[in-house]
Amino acid sequence: MRTISGVLAVSLVGTMGLIAVPAQADPKPPVIPSQSTVDAAKKAAATKAAQVSAIEQQLASAGARLEQLGVQAAKAGEVYNGAMYRLQQAQAEAKAAGDRADRAEKTLAAQRQQIGRFAAASYQGGGDLAKLGPLFTADGAQELLDSAGAARSVSQAMQGSYLRYTASQVVTNAFKLQKDQAVTKVQAATDEAAKAKEAAEAAEAEQRSAVASIGVQRRQQIAQLAVLRHTSVQVATQRQRGLEELARQRAAALAAKKAEELRRRIAAREAAEARAAREEAAREARQEAARRAREERNNDKQEHKKRPKKHKPGKHGGGNDGGSGHNSRGARAAIDFALAQLGEPYIWAAAGPSSWDCSGLTMGAWKKAGVQLPHYSVAQYEQIKHISEDDLRPGDLIFWAEDSDDPGTIFHVAMYLGGGRMIHAPRPGRPVTTDSIYYWEAPDFFGRP
């Protein structure tokens, strides 16, 4: 029994030992990417980031390209306006030259007829025998002498008429030459206008085509951004619009800052002018008071009746009229007309009534104020008073040029509204609108109609 009990005890102990120590599985080895896998992942991430950056740059470049094409189209339109302006001048010169040539030809024809009459009269007077006839008449020698004097008078008159005819012929030939040259100039100007029109149409077509094609590219690129960023196209579009709006706001803030600086400069200039005017008025008042005091002292010393005092008018009139020959009322009329066109489309070479280009709008606005300007920005600047930026007043014109030292390269014009803002017809795709005068490039020239 003891033996059996011992065996059972050993067996139980062994069994309990087996239950208390369960079997352990082999651990799984950790996943350790190879260095090449890590490098490949980094490269893929870098590639994706580079693609995102590249697409964002392409979108920004597309927007800048559209703006550039719009400006080029507007410039081409203004070149056409210049060609038409020169054609109109050439046509006016040709007409004037033609009129001078026609008048000279009529004068020459009349003098030719006069010489012909003198020649006929001389022939009808007969030969030498006919001239001796009076000797055999009652009056005799006296009639012969009278006839000889008349012949000399006719001869002298005929000679003077011939000299005038010769001079007129020279003048007529010169006028005919001028007429021919003017006609040639008209033809050259016509050809120039035709080429400018063709270039403007091509520039507008290129801009219109670019708007369509870049629009397609933009949608495709935003879709690619959405895939690369694992976002929806809607979110990607919103992000792109937000970035563009942020850039626009920053540019607008910078333009507003510059406009505020200009406003302060103009205000300082106007305050200085007002202060100088007050000082001048005070000085004149003191001089007038001193003059009157002297006059009263002199009158007190006299026993006869005082003579009426003469008023010495001041040098300054009733205030600043705001322009070179045109008052602020005229500028207000021009501004009101321009503001009434807000939202109307830009069309090159248009001058109303419901579409405009840059110089067409300023021409139409100042025409409302009674000022005639040509439909060409270069010629508008040539025909108005030139001022500085700090002298700007509402209604003045602002110009942009290819070369800031050469007004002959002007290609855009706008009207100043005050406070650093302007109204203009910018380019194809942008209607008549108001902007800061610094929303784009800084303007180059300034003038007052």
Contact assessment for residue 436 and residue 252, using Cβ atoms and an 8 Å cutoff:
yes
Distance, CA of 80 to CA of 82 (rounded, Å): 5
Contact assessment for residue 382 and residue 102, using Cβ atoms and an 8 Å cutoff:
no
Contact assessment for residue 350 and residue 360, using Cβ atoms and an 8 Å cutoff:
yes
Q: Hey, is 347 helix, strand or coil?
A: coil
Distance, CA of 204 to CA of 71 (rounded, Å): 10
C-alpha distance from residue 396 to each of 33, 171, 268, 393, 402 (Å): 72, 46, 18, 6, 20
Phi, psi of 189 (to 5 degrees): -65, -35
Classify residue 97 by its DSSP letter.
H
Tell me whether residue 358 is one of the annotated catalytic residues: yes
User: Is residue 397 within a helix (H) or strand (E), and if so which, with residue range?
Assistant: strand 397-401
C-alpha distance from residue 136 to each of 125, 128, 146, 149, 334 (Å): 17, 14, 15, 19, 90
Distance, CA of 199 to CA of 360 (rounded, Å): 19
What order do you get walking across the sheet with 433-436 strand by strand? 385-387, 445-448, 397-401, 410-418, 421-424, 433-436
Distance, CA of 350 to CA of 356 (rounded, Å): 5
| Catalytic residue (one of 230, 304, 386, 412) | 412
Q: Is the dihedral of CA 225, 231, 232, 235 positive or negative?
A: negative
Tell me whether residue 316 is one of the annotated catalytic residues: no
C-alpha distance from residue 138 to each of 135, 141, 142, 207 (Å): 8, 9, 10, 101
| Catalytic residue (one of 230, 311, 386, 424) | 424
Residues labelled as active-site residues: 358, 412, 424
